[in-house]
Structure 1
Amino acid sequence: MALNIPSITLLPDPPSKSDPANFAARADAFLDALADFCTELNASVAELNTITSGLDQQTVMVAWGNTTTYDFPDVVAGSDGYSYRCIDTGVLNVDPTTDDGTYWLKISNVIPTGGGKGQVLIKPSNSDFDTEWADFHHKNLLINALGRINQEDVSGTVVLSAGEYGHDGWKAGSGGCTYTFSTTGNTTTFTITSGTLLQIIEDKNVPGGSVVLSWTGTAQARIDSGSYGDSGEVTATFTEGTQTQVEFGTGTFSTPQLESGTVPTSFEYVDYQTDFVKCERYLRLIYWKGMMLSGRSTNSSVLGSIPLNPPMRATPTVLKNQSSGWQVLQSGYSYAPSSSPTFTTTATTKELLQINSDGVYTTLPDQSMALSGNSVNHLILDARL
């Protein structure tokens, strides 16, 4: 807002007893000017009181308009979120956001608008008032939200009994689940025709406070045993470190996101490698193609161990695929069993898998050996919730 203070004429020097010779003349001149000075000062009292009371600073800043004429020191809000002060007089239809500094001066030191919900400021405003925004990472509490990871290779119409898993991270509810799926680009859309499909969030990944669930599609969902609702309307309050789950009913859904807060934000796109490693915490397939399991052998078995790195969620249950194609290697020689070997596999911890392969081998020397398989030989390690 421009200040309306008229000019005030300076008073002449007052009379002084140190200058008795000019005392009378200076006194007359001073008294003659005093009346005009008081008149000019009184005309400015109201404006000065406004300034000193701070009301001028509380006036709402108005947006720049192309039909308004501005004078120094008018201040307006530009369309870019910054504040500008007019530095000339009679300025009409000159946009401060595009002016080269001839008529307007950028004076704001506040952060301009531009970031979206769920984004964080990665470059604070500095001398050039420039900022940069980016998505907040690791905000989605769900794994395999794009449905890209399918280690068990389910296909077609997937029929699951209660608690049985389909795509990584997703399993049937208490009434089982039947679903189909289609993938466009990297995004899988699930179509549930009966039952429910749910994901359990491990206690170690559960924050405290308010959360909101959002997705794309016609299905309704719920958090824990709460009410089913539409995308963005399903909320809950979590206790930190307490296992929880989300559950989807019949209909379609894709890009589900469970995040802190009460307002849904843009979907977090996680890179494939990160997504896959998260899934392997719960389900891991170990293939033997070209893999050398070193260990001490007897004349009919090979002993060895496999480190599980990174560790799994818990000591896994070991399921074995015992196809043909195994061989034992030692010092350039290979020994094939006359029948498929029998495995005794024990996951002693979530970090280590121990294996004893007993088979009808040709006589093996009692020394260090290596076990190798073909492209289909594998173990399934299951530590899912």
Structure 2
Amino acid sequence: MEQVDLVIRNGTIIDPKNEINGAICDVAVKNSKIYSIGKGLLVTAVKEIDAAGCLVTPGLIDNHVHCYEYATPLGINPDRDCLARGVTTAVDCGSAGASTFMGLRKYVVEKSSTRVLCLLHIASHGLAAAGCAGGCPGGESDTLAFLDIDACKGCIEKNRDVIKGVKIRLQKSVCAKGATEDEAYRRALIVSEACAVPLMVHHIESSVPTQRPDGADTRIGCPSHLRAGDFYTHAFHGYDETIINSANGKVHDDVISARKRGVLFDVGHGMGSFNWKVAEIGAKQGFWPDIISSDLHTQNIRGPVYDLLTVMTKFLHLGMPLYEVIKSTTLTPARALGMETEIGSLTAGCDADITIIKQEACDVQLEDSVTQLRNVKQRLVPVHVFRSGVQHPILPKLPWPNEDILQHLAFQLERCVIKDDA
């Protein structure tokens, strides 16, 4: 029999790349790569794990985190807060810009067991003093001089192994009360197109409209000016410029059009950007996220986000099929990042990034980002995680909900134009 390093036996496999949905199979790993997958594999292994009763998936990809630890107010530790909760690939979204990227590369990417990728902020200093946690008003795009197209392009070209796209935040509070938003957006679009990489846009309480007025086709909009493969993150917030038309309760026409042409709608839960009511309206209209991500950072790891699997649990509760939940955290982000042949599947030859998950019954209240609660009856929890075939410890989950966090978030509900009835 063939000798391998690891075999995971009897697991329920969900691998969307290979269209496997619930087959009971074994997975063998050799030399840090997936070696084979099948029923009753005739191999001997240095290590064997019985995954009976568990889901075995490709290593989870969190498409939106902030992990530039110590250098930015939002930076978490990816090994502690991502890998130890079942995530093998974390995409840092905008923490670094062209002037600060090499620190992210040297001190986070190169030193972490987690695979860390980057969407480079169009602002040269990234989120080094993000207004949401930096203790001061204003934001990274208040001054257009910091949005250097050539510097951003040059940094991407020199670091394509790590940098997979561009990031911008469109929000009046970080763009000189809206005065710089249109131009900042235009520059980000120019860089992403010139470098042939996707653009991720944070779009909340913005002067750039979600739905352009009738007949205003020349007005720059978001997501109307995004292209196939671009990411519209924080898709389920309930503030001004939400995807929902508050007048009729329908998903905006420009949002539907954007999806049809290939724009990817990303959850990006975050401290303030997931609203149960908005997600429920979307679910009833068949508007599910393409990608489930956490926007995990220092201000939300103890709630309301906790970890990626908790965000996945929320969409499972909403009725999103389990297969699609897994696809949105494996194949879809891998493909969007241009890494489909390396990560996001259990295909032989791919990196042996594997997450083993327990789907278990529960009866708990789970909060969104604005204090609204739902009674969740099942949840997804990590059991084992392997990064390039190496097993890493799983840290225990924190209890839901966090009452202290709920009190802290109460003010955000007042800003919502979509929320639960009083």
Q: Same fold (TM over 0.5)?
A: no
User: TM class, shorter-chain normalised?
Assistant: under 0.3
From the two aligned structures, give the one with the greater helix fraction: 2
From the two aligned structures, give the one with the greater strand fraction: 1
Structure whose alpha-carbon radius of gyration is higher: 1
Structure with bigger RCO (C-alpha 8 Å, 6+ apart): 2
